[in-house]
């Protein structure tokens, strides 16, 4: 095998991990600043110029916080659970394209880690893994509140994964491919959100529930469950759960931008391919702001209504959307 190709893969992987870790740190800062502006506050402004070193201060604080493991906890599972939760968040973006390709040192470098012809299936399968970490965290803590949070999480994530999986089908049918590179290229010149507005809305609601964000943050409802599945966690293990949540926010925003908003496509990308990652970054930032805006605006909904909405509203709407998309494509002869 070509050693330069292996080096290229390693460099891309390291770069992607660096971007996700930095993105996690500064997404917390972005969220706190955005919430402050919405609520007419100042937000973090003490650590560094304009508060820009606040994520560094938070990281140092978490490193030095005391690590506690309950005496009656199932210790091996208790330690493994945060790791099981955070790993899928890192690897889910392996098939996501950041751009087309650039020429560097005489070699053509594709701006994605890999392009597999079942990229959508890869994303759906990896997204299903993190629920195990949350359930095991609740069970291994040997704590009633944590166990209830874990059970809530498993029920919620499995319920909304059905609608999420169906929301993927619209872009797959329109592009006639499960490769994310093909799906992005098929959105030139019209984004799929124009053809799939209901599918895009279903997808966005489902991923907000999937990453346990407000108003779907029932697994960690502090009024009822103290803190939910991570009640007994502290220090770095506690930080891993929130790292997973915020990295998954970045990941699902990137996937939504790729499926419905043209991914890296934008003006002059064909002339200057390096603009592709810039356009994708801007789209991710806008979608992240919408998630933060929802958190600042909507109250947490009751658990029975959350489950009823997933099964009685979102799932039927996703099925109808798939049916209508298939019928229209058949009537148009498979061409949009």
pLDDT in tens, 239-272: 888 888 899 999 999 999 999 999 999 898 888 8
**DSSP secondary structure letter of residue 107:** E
In sequence order, the 6+-apart residues with CB closer than 8 A to the CB of 87 are 129
Q: How is residue 176 written in tokens?
A: 């006639």
* pLDDT at position 223: 58
Helix (H, G, I), strand (E, B) or coil at 139: helix
The CA distance from 180 to 178, in Å, is 6
The CA distance from 181 to 222, in Å, is 41
In sequence order, the 6+-apart residues with CB closer than 8 A to the CB of 190 are none
Mean pLDDT of 138-160: 84
Q: Which of 259, 276, 277 shows the shortest CA–CA distance to 268?
A: 276
Inform me whether the pLDDT recorded for 142 exceeds 70: yes
In sequence order, the 6+-apart residues with CB closer than 8 A to the CB of 328 are none
The CA distance from 6 to 290, in Å, is 38
The CA distance from 154 to 210, in Å, is 10
Worst-scoring range by mean pLDDT, 49-58, 210-219, 326-335?
Answer: 210-219
The CA distance from 218 to 301, in Å, is 8
Helix (H, G, I), strand (E, B) or coil at 251: helix
Q: Which of 232, 240, 280 shows the shortest CA–CA distance to 256?
A: 280
The maximal CA–CA distance of the chain, rounded, in angstroms, is 64
The per-residue pLDDT of the chain, averaged, comes to 88
Contact 169, 322 (CB under 8 A): yes
Q: How is residue 145 written in tokens?
A: 């509140």
| Extended strands (E) in the chain | 101-104, 107-110
The CA distance from 41 to 296, in Å, is 13
The CA distance from 201 to 204, in Å, is 5
Contact 127, 210 (CB under 8 A): yes
Q: How many C-beta atoms lie closer than 10 Å to residue 286's C-beta?
A: 12
* pLDDT at position 134: 85
pLDDT in tens, 290-306: 999 999 998 888 888 98
Going by pLDDT thresholds of 50, 70 and 90, the confidence category of residue 323 is very high
Going by pLDDT thresholds of 50, 70 and 90, the confidence category of residue 334 is low
């Amino acid at each position: 095998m070509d050693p330069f190709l292996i080096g290229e893969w390693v460099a891309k992987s390291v770069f992607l991990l660096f971007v996700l870790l930095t993105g996690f740190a500064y997404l917390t800062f972005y969220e706190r600043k955005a919430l402050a502006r919405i609520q007419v506050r100042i937000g973090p402004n003490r650590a560094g110029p304009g508060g820009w070193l606040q994520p560094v201060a938070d990281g140092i604080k978490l490193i030095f916080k005391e690590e506690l493991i309950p005496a009656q906890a199932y210790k091996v599972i208790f330690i493994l659970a945060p790791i099981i939760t955070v790993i899928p968040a890192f690897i889910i973006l392996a098939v996501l394209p950041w751009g087309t390709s650039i020429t560097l040192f005489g070699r053509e470098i594709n701006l994605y880690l890999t392009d597999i012809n079942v990229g959508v299936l890869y994303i759906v399968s990896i997204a299903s893994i993190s629920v195990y970490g949350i359930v095991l965290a609740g069970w291994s803590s040997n704590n009633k509140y944590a166990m209830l949070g874990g059970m809530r999480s498993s029920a919620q994530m499995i319920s909304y994964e059905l609608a999420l999986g169906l929301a993927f089908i619209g872009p797959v049918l329109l592009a006639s491919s499960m490769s994310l590179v093909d799906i992005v290229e098929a959105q030139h010149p019209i984004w799929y959100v124009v053809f799939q507005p209901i599918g895009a809305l279903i997808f966005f609601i489902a991923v907000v529930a999937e990453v346990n964000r407000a108003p779907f943050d029932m697994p960690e409802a502090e009024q009822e469950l103290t803190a939910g599945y991570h009640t007994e966690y502290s220090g770095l293990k506690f930080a891993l759960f929130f790292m997973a949540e915020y990295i998954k926010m970045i990941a699902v925003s990137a996937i939504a931008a790729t499926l419905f908003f043209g991914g890296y496509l934008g003006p002059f990308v064909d002339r200057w391919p390096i603009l592709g990652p810039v356009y994708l970054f801007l789209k991710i930032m806008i979608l992240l702001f919408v998630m933060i805006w929802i958190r600042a605006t909507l109250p947490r909904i009751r658990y029975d209504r959350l489950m009823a909405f997933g099964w009685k509203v979102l799932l039927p709407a996703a099925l109808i959307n798939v049916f209508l998309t298939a019928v229209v494509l058949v009537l148009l002869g498979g061409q949009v």
